[in-house]
Amino acid sequence: MSLQVDAARLTHELQVLATFSAAPAPAVTRVVFTEPDRAARAYVRSLCTAAGLSLREDAVGNLFARWAGEDPSLPAVCTGSHIDAIPNAGMYDGTVGVLGALEAIRALQATGLRPRRSIELLMFTSEEPTRFGIGCLGSRLLSGLTDAGAASRLRDRDGATLDDARQAAGFTGTVADVALPPGQYTAFVELHIEQGPLLEQRGIGLGLVTAIAAPASLRVTIDGEGGHAGAVLMPARRDAFLAGAEIALAVEAAARSTDAIDTVATTGVCHVFPGAVNSVPSRCELEVDVRDIDEGRRDAVLARVETACVDVAARRRVSVTTQVVNADPPARCDAAVVDALTASCVDAGFACEPMISRAYHDALFMSRVAPTGMLFIPCRAGVSHRPDEYAAPEDIARGVHVLALALARLAS
């Protein structure tokens, strides 16, 4: 197959997509259902329509753009990723797997191929947990792992429910209908930047993911006692922020205690109330993220954090409550999908190597309902979730080329 990936067109489209942002360039902030997210969705829809794909959106805004195959009754081959972005992020996380998949479909169309199975681009809602506190909301609901009842209880920091937010963005269907029927897809493949440094360090252009690390997140709420910073003497204090500081350090210590390089834990959010220089903090809210490729080891870290919370609560005479927002098992990629990706690399003459995904992705949840694989491309210095996140056009084009070959192979 003589496949031509238009790297210049794809680079241009990624740059246009990056302009839909609540933060000034080069930063990208695109939180689900906010105005930049809605505008970016409209842009992607317009590109898909121009490519002749037929569009469908579900009740939470997952977008399905289908290139019908010769036999549309067969389970389709699916590919996709997300376009939402955490505050102050970059322009490649997720977007490469959406616009790159579209470019792969266009490149296949240009060869004159008519695939036997349909090929469907899936753009997932809210891969990032920024707004509702839980990552991969769209793919969780598609997989059935999160049900409509749980989704209906989600609220953002301002108290808006998921239903409020999705309906305001124009998605008015029934959330219970989002879950995919069994056997919908014969395969799912996600193209993504590595978000780590290994491919760049080894000079390898493509990574074939064999497993995705198991993520978990906790919300920790500490209630102490406020008061005047001059008048409340040190022995009488029940300072919620100092308790939070100790818990954040305990999270770090718990991750390091496993002595496994694959264990990571982060306290990325800390809100202090009332938040005045001359007022003893009465309340502190933390959000904690723990990941490991080994689920048991990950759960042991969570247990250590819980123990630390109990210890800090007793010692500092504060109340500490923890809520597990999610604690998901790791995923193994499907051997047949990995084989199709490997064969496509061989066909194209590109070097590749197997690897672990430390970040988690919609593929983690799609693996519950479809044979799944992931294809990684390098990103500069492994940097992600930052404005200086960067993937070279030639690396993106190489990933798109292999994705296209694999989609054709899986759809044949």
Q: Which residues are annotated as a binding site for Zn(2+)?
A: 82, 93, 128, 192, 385
Q: Does 268 bind a second copy (CB under 8 A)?
A: yes
Known binding-site positions: 82, 93, 128, 192, 385
Q: Does 360 bind a second copy (CB under 8 A)?
A: yes
Which residues is 215 bridged to in the sheet? 291
Q: Does 249 bind a second copy (CB under 8 A)?
A: yes
Q: Sign of the CA dihedral 88, 91, 96, 97?
A: positive
Q: Does 276 bind a second copy (CB under 8 A)?
A: yes
Structure tokens at 371: 């044979």
Strands 353-357 and 207-212, how do they pair?
A: parallel
Q: At what angle do helices 393-411 and 95-110 cross, to 10 degrees?
A: 60
User: Which residue lies nearer to a second copy by CB, 9 or 157?
Assistant: 157
Q: Interacting stretch for a second copy, rule CB under 8 A, among 8-16, 102-110, 270-278, 295-303?
A: 270-278
User: Which residue lies nearer to a second copy by CB, 142 or 245?
Assistant: 245
Least Å distance, CB 30 to a second copy, is 12
Q: What gap in Å lies between CA 107 and CA 100, rounded to an integer? A: 10
Q: For tokens 């990103």, what's the residue?
A: 379
Q: What gap in Å lies between CA 400 and CA 397, rounded to an integer? A: 5
Among 239, 328, 362, 395, binds a second copy (CB under 8 A): 239
> What H or E segment, with its residue span, contains residue 382?
none
Least Å distance, CB 357 to a second copy, is 8
Least Å distance, CB 195 to a second copy, is 4
User: Which residue lies nearer to a second copy by CB, 138 or 371?
Assistant: 138
Q: How many CB atoms lie within 10 A of CB 203?
A: 8
Q: Answer for the pair 379, 76: CB distance below 8 angstroms, yes or no.
A: no
Least Å distance, CB 276 to a second copy, is 4
Structure tokens at 154: 């989600």
Q: Interacting stretch for a second copy, rule CB under 8 A, among 45-53, 283-291, 300-308, 328-336?
A: 283-291
End-to-end CA distance of the chain: 13
Q: Which of residues 133-192 bind a second copy (CB under 8 A)?
A: 133, 135
Cβ neighbours of residue 22 closer than 8 Å, sequence gap 6 or more: 29, 30, 31, 34, 35, 36, 87
User: Which residue lies nearer to a second copy by CB, 42 or 381?
Assistant: 381
Q: Does 245 bind a second copy (CB under 8 A)?
A: yes
Q: Interacting stretch for a second copy, rule CB under 8 A, among 7-15, 97-105, 352-360, 397-405?
A: 352-360
Least Å distance, CB 145 to a second copy, is 18
Q: Does 231 bind a second copy (CB under 8 A)?
A: yes
Q: What φ, ψ does residue 255 adopt, rounded to 5°?
A: -65, -40
Q: Which of residues 100-129 bind a second copy (CB under 8 A)?
A: 128-129
Could you list the beta-strand ranges (E) of 143-298.
185-193, 207-212, 214-223, 227-228, 264-273, 279-280, 283-292
Among 238, 304, 358, 409, binds a second copy (CB under 8 A): 358
Q: Interacting stretch for a second copy, rule CB under 8 A, among 46-54, 106-114, 140-148, 280-288?
A: 280-288
Q: Does 217 bind a second copy (CB under 8 A)?
A: yes
Least Å distance, CB 402 to a second copy, is 21
Q: What gap in Å lies between CA 158 and CA 151, rounded to an integer? A: 16
- C-alpha 191: how far from its chain's center? 12
Among 80, 207, 224, 281, binds a second copy (CB under 8 A): 281
User: Which residue lies nearer to a second copy by CB, 62 or 282?
Assistant: 282
Residue 247's SS3 state is: helix
Least Å distance, CB 234 to a second copy, is 6
Q: Interacting stretch for a second copy, rule CB under 8 A, among 39-47, 71-79, 180-188, 264-272?
A: 264-272
Cβ neighbours of residue 273 closer than 8 Å, sequence gap 6 or more: 226, 240, 281, 282, 283, 284, 285
Q: What φ, ψ does residue 30 adopt, rounded to 5°?
A: -145, 90
- Which residues bind to a second copy, rule: CB under 8 A? 86-89, 128-130, 133, 135, 194-196, 213, 215, 217, 226-235, 239, 241-242, 244-246, 248-249, 252, 255-256, 261, 263-270, 272-282, 287-289, 291, 358-360, 382-386
